[in-house]
Amino acid sequence: MDELNQHPPASESKESATNTTELLHEQEHDSIYNDEHNSIYRNERDFAHNHERESVRNHEREKAEVRKKFLKIGGVVALVLIGLFTLPIPLGSIKVVGSDKVTVQDVEVAGDIGEPVNILRINRETLRNRLSKDLRVEDAQISYELPLTMVVRIAERKGISVIPAQFGYLTLDKNGQVIASDSVIEDTTVPMISGVKGGNILLGDVVTDKPIVQVLDYLRALDDDTFKQIAEVNIGDPDNILVYTVSGIQIRLGDGTNLKDKAELTAAMLKDLPETQGKVEYIDVNPSSPYIKTDRITVQPKSNKNNKSKPDTSQSDKTDTSKQNDNTSKSKQD
């Protein structure tokens, strides 16, 4: 039995060898299958990774192309803008409104604007400051209108009076600055200050003589309608200032005090003239007792706030009474 155990039959040995061979074949087959499966998986994974990397690279290339396009466009735009702002390229036009005296050429000279005009090269604030130094200009505002128009709105510096000078006449604005000098009176719409003669006064100078300054205060206090009726102010006697209307009526201001009140009384009493009886000799605008003197009666203004008494009609009453007495005596004689 021991011999049999030590030396199994040949049939069993063959069967065992066969099983071993089959097992080896199966293991080899499994190994090959696993290798093929792993290879396929690796290929698929590599393909996915490669595809992803290629997508990223394509996306980066597209972004780079877009950046290049934007850079090219930006460069072209920058060059165009630089050319428009620096080169003498004709672009746009200038329009002046609000003034008949200030022209487009005046604006170009004030702003040192060369030809051809390029409104993009014009500094608005610099132009505005330079225009404000023009004696004809009170204020200047600059804006734009489509398509390409720079609009310069001028508020003219207006004269308020004219004074005689050594070689002609000087026009003063509301602040007493000389804004024009002419050999004859060019602006007849403003009153003349007489009784004084300007000395060595030049364009741009500011008059400081007290009587003239007082007259300017009076004229500034008048409303537009009343101002248009004033033709002359005589300051030959500063304590007895006389104003004359365009119709020749004399207005007595007295001295240079309470000029605002006197201006208000001037306006009110000129409005009362149509209701006044008789021919007006003069108007006294003394705030304490203003009145209108005619060849028949003396009338106090209706709008006088300080004195609301009725007009003095005693002279007219006496005239009417004397006429009645004359008529009565005539009837008795008859």
Determine phi and psi for 113, rounding to 5 degrees: -95, 120
Neighbours of 192 (CB within 10 A): 18
Q: Of residues 148 and 27, which shows the higher confidence score?
A: 148
Q: What is the pLDDT of residue 123?
A: 86
Mean pLDDT value across residues 168-174: 92
Indicate the pLDDT class of residue 188, thresholds 50, 70 and 90: confident
What is the tens place of the pLDDT at every residue in 85-138? 565 667 788 999 998 889 999 999 888 887 788 888 888 899 999 998 888 899
Interacting residues of 30 by C-beta distance below 8 A, sequence separation 6+: none
Interacting residues of 226 by C-beta distance below 8 A, sequence separation 6+: 263, 266, 267, 270
Q: 312 pLDDT exceeds 50?
A: no
> Which CATH superfamily, name and number, covers 93-156?
membrane protein fhac (3.10.20.310)
Give the residue extent of every domain in the chain: 15-83, 93-156, 172-316
Q: What is the pLDDT of residue 307?
A: 46
Instruction: Decide if 254 contacts 241 (C-beta within 8 A).
Output: yes
What is the tens place of the pLDDT at every residue in 9-62? 555 555 666 666 666 666 666 666 566 666 666 666 666 677 777 777 777 777
Mean pLDDT value across residues 213-231: 96
**What is the CATH T-level fold of the domain 172-316, as seen in this structure?**
Rossmann fold (3.40.50)
**CA-wise closest residue to 193 among 179, 208, 172, 224:** 172
Mean pLDDT value across residues 165-189: 90
Indicate the pLDDT class of residue 192, thresholds 50, 70 and 90: very high
Q: What is the DSSP letter of 175?
A: T
